[in-house]
Amino acid sequence: MPSPPQVTELLLAWGQGQSAALEKLIPLVHNELKRLAHHYMAGQRTGHTLQTTALVNEAYLRLVDCSRVRWQNRAHFFAVSAQLMRRILVDFARSRGYLKRGAGVRPLSLERAPDIFQRTDPDFVALDDALNALAAIDPRKCQVIELRFFGGLTAEETAEVLKISPDTVLRDWKLAKVWLHRELNRELPHDA
């Protein structure tokens, strides 16, 4: 696997419209995913949950090294990488059949998700569809979700990228989640 600077270059290239960069980026993201998955497996084995936040941050950091990006490019760069992550993750989930409806509530999830209405992990494919619908009526909320959920940014970083206040980010984030949760659970009665 290339070292992080290369990832950053690739991301920038992709953001500048060089679609060939994506070819090279996808396996890198996949590797990070697998790496994370391995940690989760190790955590399951030993019975203690790994420090999810730090672990995931690490993965994002590895992929997206913001310090390499010049300040004026940052917003663009983050937006690009979050989009990219969305695309790659959703494609990946789609190809593997992960998180088809119901899959997210399997007890394999480290967080408790016994109640279907309390599900904490979304179905990526359905989520992608719902996000597209959300973007049609409220593109900013879609971006907030993209940046935070797929891009791994904090509320503050998201605020910086979107040039809005962190409070607004949090309000958008909350409502967008409510909206998505409703969209993703519309068909639940039939499934159950």
Partner 1 sequence: MTPERWQRIEELYHLVLKQDASQRAVFVKQACNGDEEMEREIESLLAHEEPANKFMESPGMAVLARAMAGDRACSMIGRRISSYQILSLLGAGGMGEVYKARDVRLGRLVALKILRQGVATDPEHKCRFLQEAKAVSALNHPHVVTLHDVGSAEGIDFLVMEYVSGETLDKLIPNSGLVLRQALQYSIEIADAFVKAHAAGIIHRDLKPNNIMVTTDGAVKVLDFGVAKLTETLEPGETNVTVPTAITTGGMILGTASYMSPEQVEGKTVDARSDIFSFGAVLYEMVTGQRAFQGDSQLSILTAILRDDPKPVGQLVDQVPGELERIIARCLRKSPEQRFQTMADVKVTIAELKEGLDSGTLAAVLKRQGLRYWRPLLTVALLAALGAVVAIWFLRSGTTASEPSLTVVPLSTYPGFQMQPSFSPDGNQVAFVWNGEKQHNWDIYVKLIGTGGPPLRLTNHPAGGHSPAWSPDGRFIAFLRWISEGKCALLLIPALGGPEREITETSCVPFPKLTWSPDGSSLVISDRDSAKELFALYLVSIESGERRKLTSPSPPWVGDISPAFAPDGRTLAFSRRVDWGYRGDLYIVPFSKTLGPIVEPKRITFDNRGAIYPAWSADGRGIVFADSRGLWRIAAPGFMGKAAEPQQLPFGESGQDSTGSHPDISRRGQRLAYKHDLIHSSIWRIATPILEGAPRVHERNNPTAVHSAHFISSTRDDSQPQFSPDGKRIAFSSNRSGNLEIWLCDADGLNPIQLTFFQGAKVTTPRWSPDSSRIAFDSDAEGQFDVWVISANGGSPQRMTTDPANDGNPSWSRDGRWIYFDSARTGEQQVWKVSAERGEPTQVTRDRGWAPLESPDGKSLYYVKDIADTDLWRISIENGQPTKVLEGLSSYLNLAIGDKGIYFVPSKNASAGSTVQFLQFATSSIRTIVSLEQPLNLAEMGGLAVSPDGRWILYTQFDQAGSELMLVENFR
Question: How many whole angstroms from its chain centre is CA 32?
Answer: 13
Count interface residues toward partner 1 (CB under 8 A).
75
Nearest to 106 by CA among 126, 120, 127: 120
Q: Does 110 bind partner 1 (CB under 8 A)?
A: yes
Minimum distance between the CB of residue 70 and partner 1, rounded to whole angstroms?
A: 15
| Length of the chain in terms of residues written | 192
The b-or-e profile of 126-163 (16+ CB within 10 A means b, else e) is bbbebbeebeeeeeebbbbbbbbbbbbbebebbbbbbe
Kindly indicate which of the ranges 9-17, 69-77, 102-110, 157-165 contains the residues binding partner 1, using the contact rule CB under 8 A.
102-110
Q: Does 102 bind partner 1 (CB under 8 A)?
A: no
* Amino acid letter, 128: D
Q: Does 40 bind partner 1 (CB under 8 A)?
A: yes
Q: Report yes or no: 95 and 88 within 8 Å, Cβ to Cβ.
A: no
Cα–Cα distance measured from residue 112 to residue 105, given in angstroms and rounded to the nearest whole number: 9
Minimum distance between the CB of residue 95 and partner 1, rounded to whole angstroms?
A: 11
- Please list every residue from 111 through 130 that binds partner 1, using CB under 8 A: 111, 117-122, 124
Q: Does 53 bind partner 1 (CB under 8 A)?
A: yes
Q: Which of 22, 33, 164, 170: binder of partner 1 (CB under 8 A)?
A: 33
Q: Which string of DSSP letters, residue by residue, matches 42-86?
A: HHHHHT----HHHHHHHHHHHH--GGGS-GGGHHHHHHHHHHHHH
Kindly indicate which of the ranges 9-17, 71-79, 82-90, 159-167 contains the residues binding partner 1, using the contact rule CB under 8 A.
82-90
Q: Does 20 bind partner 1 (CB under 8 A)?
A: no
Q: Which of 13, 22, 62, 94: binder of partner 1 (CB under 8 A)?
A: 62
Cα–Cα distance measured from residue 173 to residue 170, given in angstroms and rounded to the nearest whole number: 5
Q: Does 145 bind partner 1 (CB under 8 A)?
A: yes
Binding mask of the shown chain, residues 154 to 183, with x at each position contacting partner 1 by CB under 8 A: -----------------x--xx-xxxxxx-
Alpha-carbon radius of gyration of the chain = 17
Q: Does 93 bind partner 1 (CB under 8 A)?
A: yes
